[in-house]
A and B are shown apart, each in its own frame.
Chain A
């Protein structure tokens, strides 16, 4: 194959149908409160780790719902599991458990 000095890229869209959402199902079934997010961003605003890193807990939550978990391994390590997000969530979403479940879902699937 020839090289012309550049590469053909995959698009960055969330390709919902191409994503494996089994892990999403697994996480949501163990922690049903995850479904209740209304996207307000209180969690991200208060996030201790978010003040020092680019961790965005709301974005992580949304990505999990879209089946985009594969890249989150490094991302969730930034979380200090302090639980402030959960404290401020107006819908009582257990975000701390979300982080733990992402961890075990990734581990389960060998990622």
Chain B
């Protein structure tokens, strides 16, 4: 087993986020994830403080670390200056580096995020791009988005955007040189390697689950991870 605690400790966010927890629960008290998921940020610190790699391994393979919404409300309140939200980020990073994320339903979703947000960052230079936000995948966006999506160029023109245009402005086409630069940044800093790992471990998992996985967003595995919900995430009481 890799030296998990020490690997986590290499992450500055981990060092910044874990001082010494006194188990007061101010984090869990106001954590939106704790309100709706079987989740307590306090427990995360409890486990990490043990430095016990077998417990940490379980955590890295669990749904637990994927419930947090990274709103960082916990950071404001902690009387000891811990930052549970930052610890979650370091745990998620390590879970992906080691491929443990594919062991949980919520962790497996990383592939879907990589293939949407990740792809768009490199392709458009934006985290989102309107033509990609399909009303069918986002029905809650309502009739207004359906209308807007259908008329995107005209609506963007009406609202003064420079949609796919050159020069500055809203939703301009980001110059190819700039896109090349951000690709190189991703290459140099480990971003591309993170993406490759998400792909590689997911492919392995899809095979193990006997599911078809291609490169886009329409294969069985992608559809499965995008929508699968066991319903076991919100339970309040044991038994």
Seen from chain A, the residues whose Cβ lies within 8 Å of a Cβ on chain B are 2, 4-6, 9, 11-13, 54, 56, 63, 68, 71-72, 74-75, 78
Please judge, given known A-B contacts A6-B229, A12-B34, whether A71 and B239 are in contact too, CB under 8 Å.
yes
Beta-carbon contact of B238 and A54 below 8 Å: yes
Tell me whether B238 and A9 are in contact (CB under 8 A): no
B229 nearest in chain A by CB position: A6
Report the nearest B residue to A71, measured CB to CB.
Answer: B237
**Option from B34, B37, B238 in Cβ contact (under 8 Å) with A75:** B238
Do residues A9 and B237 form an inter-chain contact, with CB atoms below 8 A?
no
Q: How far is the CB of B130 from chain A (nearest CB, A)?
A: 20
Given A4-B140, A74-B239, A75-B239, answer yes or no on A12-B234 (Cβ-Cβ < 8 Å). Answer: yes
Q: Could you name 5 residue pairs across A and B whose Cβ atoms are closer than 8 Å?
A: A4-B140, A5-B227, A9-B36, A11-B35, A54-B238
Cα separation A68 to B37 with both chains bound (whole Å): 18
Is residue B38 contacting chain A, with contact meaning CB distance below 8 A? yes
Question: Is B237 touching A75 in the complex (CB atoms < 8 A)?
Answer: yes
Partner of A4, one of B36, B139, B236: B139
Q: Given the complex, which residues of B lie within 8 Å of A54, measured CB to CB?
A: 238-239
A11 partner residues in chain B, CB cutoff 8 A: 35-36
Closest beta carbon of chain A to B40's beta carbon, Å: 10
User: For the complex, what is the distance from the CA of A11 to the CA of B38, rounded to whole Å?
Assistant: 10
Q: CA of A78 to CA of B238 in the docked complex: distance in angstroms?
A: 11
Please count how many residues in chain B sit with their CB below 8 Å of the partner chain's CB atoms.
Answer: 14
Closest to A13 in B: B35
In the bound complex, how far is the Cα of B227 from the Cα of A4, in angstroms?
Answer: 11
4 tightest Cβ-Cβ pairs between the two chains A and B: A71-B237, A74-B239, A12-B236, A11-B35
- CB contacts (< 8 Å) of A13 on chain B: these are 35
Q: Quick one: closest B residue to A3, CB to CB?
A: B139
Chain B residues in 8 Å Cβ range of A74:
239
In the assembled complex, which residues on chain B have CB atoms less than 8 Å from the CB atom of A12?
A: 34-38, 234, 236
Q: Which residues of A contact B37 (CB under 8 A)?
A: 12
A72 to B238 alpha-carbon distance, docked (Å): 9
Once bound together, how far apart are the Cα atoms of A98 and B69, in whole Å? 39
Cross-interface CB contact of A71 among B36, B139, B236, cutoff 8 Å: B236
Task: A9 to B38: give the CA distance in the assembly, Å.
Answer: 12
Closest chain B residue to A68, Cβ basis: B237
Closest Cβ of chain A to B95, distance in Å, is 24
Q: How far is the CA of A6 from the CA of B140 in the complex (A)?
A: 10
Interface residues as binary, B218-239 with A (CB distance below 8 Å gives 1, 0 otherwise):
0000000001010000101111
Give A11's nearest chain B residue, CB to CB: B35
Q: How far is the CA of A75 from the CA of B140 in the complex (A)?
A: 39
Cα–Cα, bound, A13→B140 (Å): 26
State which residues 132-160 of B face A: CB under 8 Å.
Answer: 139-140
